[in-house]
């Protein structure tokens, strides 16, 4: 690493790893409940497990993004963070708010709005926390001698993510309006501004790992994030087809959603071409695996599988079925989980000075987690398609259908086990690196 203050990133990454493990535990609780093994129902009913599972996902990804920003922004702007102490305060408060929310869910303390279950009182603390984070990042950039496109795109993504949290706090009496504006947060995060963050991190990693000229990479970064917004903003319409709003969204959402895979295709082609073009072969093969893997898997999970049920004629039957879970799992994994894991894989040798750039366990972590997640996606997909036909075409009762498709959740659990082994390997490597230290300032050669 080049700057001492980058060390704070390690603790955000460590928090991410801890929350990822917890997220997987709650995923298993849900998986077992779906095959009838719901012995924890009285303590952790399905709705609690689900709220914890999805919210932990959001928090560990955000923690990873924040860690990435604390690592990237000093290096890109060629200066230390404006305050390391406040960054630690922000880390601790993020962890406290997250843990309080998760505990609260076990005691019916939530808002009961998909993905935005955090109770209103904690919402205000989230806002303060994010304002502190943004203050540190933006002030560092403001005081910097150099402001690169990569750092600006990353900072814009983080700023817009914070702003877009606000529509989710608006109170509505109408379920339709509530749902409509909830998607302003959820959709415009994951199919909008989070892609800016992903693009910024991807650009940083490609500059470091391939050695391709920054100007070339950053030019294409603009094109890709441009495509993201051009398709993604009006693509929000695919959530509005059948929730009780005007059918103009069927036309608008249908057209622009169909364009959304283009941004992910661009991202995949961009990463692969930069890798091929690059003359510098960075020794950190694991970081390269995760970086290229992220670009490719996100195209399949977010782009192709999203497109598979985004056309209004298809979505009429798949809306509200397990087909959505199929798309959701591979999309979040490919686009956001993998970019965080890529960033951690790149940063850890530089933060700790231990240059473990390649290992059998590291490769096994990559392949097992990806194959496991792909298997889970297929299991969700088969269950979802069967559900669509049995329930919506052949008019079978919901629970009869659930019994028919429960076998696919056995497959899901097997694949989830494979995935978990991969993640355990990854975390073992994370632990093996040890803590960040000042000696790493001198020893890092491949920045």
Partner 1 sequence: MLSKKQARTFFLGGTMLTFLIFIALTIYSFSGEQDQANTLQLNEPIVRGKQLWEKNNCMGCHTILGEGAYYAPELTKVIDRRGKGYIKAVLMSPVSWAPNGRKMVAYGFTDAEAEDLIAFFDWIDDIDLNGFDRVVSPLAKDK
Q: Binders of partner 1 among 104-163, rule CB under 8 A?
A: 108, 110-114, 117, 149
Q: How far is the CB of 182 from partner 1 (least distance, A)?
A: 9
Q: Which of 128, 142, 213, 244 binds partner 1 (CB under 8 A)?
A: 244
Q: Which of 3, 28, 46, 275 binds partner 1 (CB under 8 A)?
A: 46
CB 287 within 8 A of CB 205: yes
Q: How far is the CB of 33 from partner 1 (least distance, A)?
A: 8
d(CA 391, CA 165): 35
Of the ranges 43-51, 121-129, 421-429, 436-444, which one interacts with partner 1 (CB under 8 A)?
A: 43-51
Ranges within 72-111 binding partner 1 (CB under 8 A): 108, 110-111
Locate 232 and state its tokens: 């993604």
Q: Which of 324, 359, 417, 437 binds partner 1 (CB under 8 A)?
A: 324
Q: Check residue 252 for interaction with partner 1 (CB under 8 A).
A: yes
Of the ranges 96-104, 218-226, 299-307, 338-346, which one interacts with partner 1 (CB under 8 A)?
A: 218-226
> Which lies closer to partner 1 via its Cβ, residue 131 or residue 316?
316
Up-side HSE of residue 341: CA atoms within 13 Å toward CB? 29
**Chain-centre distance of CA 61, in angstroms?**
5
> Tokens 């504006």, residue?
181
Q: Check residue 39 for interaction with partner 1 (CB under 8 A).
A: no
Of the ranges 269-277, 286-294, 320-328, 341-349, which one interacts with partner 1 (CB under 8 A)?
A: 320-328
> Which lies closer to partner 1 via its Cβ, residue 30 or residue 374?
30
Q: How far is the CB of 310 from partner 1 (least distance, A)?
A: 14
Q: Which of 89, 230, 356, 378 binds partner 1 (CB under 8 A)?
A: 230
d(CA 255, CA 260): 9
> Which lies closer to partner 1 via its Cβ, residue 227 or residue 337?
227
d(CA 51, CA 108): 11
Q: How far is the CB of 53 from partner 1 (least distance, A)?
A: 10
> Which lies closer to partner 1 via its Cβ, residue 22 or residue 230?
230
Q: Which of 2, 4, 38, 364 binds partner 1 (CB under 8 A)?
A: 38
Q: How far is the CB of 56 from partner 1 (least distance, A)?
A: 14
> Which lies closer to partner 1 via its Cβ, residue 241 or residue 299?
241
Q: How far is the CB of 317 from partner 1 (least distance, A)?
A: 6
Locate 409 and state its tokens: 């959740």
- Three-state SS string over 139-194 comes to HHHHCCCCCCHHHHHHHHHHHHHHHCCHHHHCCCCCHHHHHHHHHHHHHHHHHHHH
Instruction: Count residues near partner 1 (CB under 8 A).
Output: 74
Q: Which of 399, 431, 445, 447 binds partner 1 (CB under 8 A)?
A: 399
d(CA 45, CA 105): 10
Ranges within 327-386 binding partner 1 (CB under 8 A): none
Q: Check residue 264 for interaction with partner 1 (CB under 8 A).
A: no
Q: How far is the CB of 427 from partner 1 (least distance, A)?
A: 28
Calculate Rg over the CA atoms of the chain: 21
Q: How far is the CB of 62 from partner 1 (least distance, A)?
A: 21
Q: Report CA-CA distances (Å) from 306 to 182, 234, 235, 281, 386.
A: 19, 15, 11, 34, 18
CB 408 within 8 A of CB 383: yes
> Which lies closer to partner 1 via its Cβ, residue 80 or residue 111?
111
Q: Which of 174, 360, 445, 447 binds partner 1 (CB under 8 A)?
A: 174
Q: Check residue 48 for interaction with partner 1 (CB under 8 A).
A: yes
Q: Check residue 50 for interaction with partner 1 (CB under 8 A).
A: yes
Q: Check residue 215 for interaction with partner 1 (CB under 8 A).
A: yes
Locate 31 and state its tokens: 């998986």
- Three-state SS string over 395-426 comes to CCCHHHHHHHHHHHHHHHHHHHHHHHHHHHHH
Q: How far is the CB of 306 from partner 1 (least distance, A)?
A: 16
> Which lies closer to partner 1 via its Cβ, residue 83 or residue 411?
411
d(CA 345, CA 290): 8
> Which lies closer to partner 1 via its Cβ, residue 7 or residue 319?
319
d(CA 403, CA 424): 32
Q: Check residue 16 for interaction with partner 1 (CB under 8 A).
A: no
- Of 151, 297, 286, nearest to 221 by C-alpha is 151
φ, ψ for residue 357, nearest 5 deg: -90, -20
Burial class (CB in 10 A: 0-12, 13-18, 19+), 399: exposed
Cβ count within 10 A of residue 441: 17
């Amino acid at each position: 690493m080049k700057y001492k203050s980058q060390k704070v990133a390690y603790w955000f990454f460590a928090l991410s790893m801890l929350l990822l493990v917890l997220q997987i535990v709650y995923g298993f609780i849900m998986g077992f409940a779906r095959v009838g093994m719901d012995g924890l129902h009285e303590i952790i009913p399905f709705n609690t497990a689900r709220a914890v599972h999805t919210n932990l996902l959001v928090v560990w990804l955000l923690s990873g993004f924040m860690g990435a920003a604390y690592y990237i922004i000093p290096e890109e702007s060629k200066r230390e963070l404006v305050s390391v102490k406040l960054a630690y305060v922000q880390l601790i408060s993020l962890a406290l708010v997250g843990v309080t929310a998760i505990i609260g869910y076990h005691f019916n303390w939530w808002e009961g709005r998909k993905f935005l279950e955090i109770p209103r009182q904690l919402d205000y603390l989230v806002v303060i926390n994010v304002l502190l984070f943004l203050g540190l990042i933006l002030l560092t950039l403001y005081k910097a001698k150099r402001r690169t496109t990569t750092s600006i795109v990353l900072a814009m993504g983080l700023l817009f993510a914070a702003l877009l949290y606000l529509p989710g706090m608006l109170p509505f009496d109408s379920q339709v309006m509530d749902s409509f504006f909830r998607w302003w947060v959820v959709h415009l995060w994951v199919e909008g501004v989070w892609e800016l963050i992903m693009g910024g991190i991807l650009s940083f990693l490609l500059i470091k790992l391939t050695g391709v000229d920054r100007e070339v990479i950053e030019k294409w970064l603009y094109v890709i994030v441009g495509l993201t917004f051009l398709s993604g903003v009006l693509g929000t319409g695919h959530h509005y087809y059948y929730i009780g709003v005007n059918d103009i969204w069927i036309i608008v959402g249908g057209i622009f959603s169909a364009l959304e895979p283009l941004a992910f295709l661009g991202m995949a082609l961009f990463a692969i071409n930069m890798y091929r073009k690059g003359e510098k072969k960075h020794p950190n093969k694991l970081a390269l695996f995760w970086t290229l893997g992220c670009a490719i898997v996100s195209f399949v999970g977010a782009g192709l599988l999203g497109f598979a049920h985004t056309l209004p004629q298809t979505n009429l039957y798949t809306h509200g079925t397990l087909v959505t879970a199929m798309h959701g799992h591979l999309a979040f994994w490919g686009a956001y989980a993998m970019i965080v894991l890529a960033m951690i894989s790149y940063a850890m040798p530089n933060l700790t000075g231990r240059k473990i750039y390649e290992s059998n366990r590291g490769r096994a972590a990559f392949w097992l987690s990806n194959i496991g997640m792909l298997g889970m996606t297929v299991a969700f997909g088969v269950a979802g398609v069967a559900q669509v036909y049995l329930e919506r075409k052949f008019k079978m009762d919901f629970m009869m259908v659930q019994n028919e498709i429960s076998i696919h959740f056995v497959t899901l659990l097997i694949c989830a086990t494979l995935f978990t082994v991969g993640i355990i390997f990854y975390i073992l490597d994370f632990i093996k690196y040890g803590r960040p230290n000042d000696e790493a300032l001198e020893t890092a050669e491949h920045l």
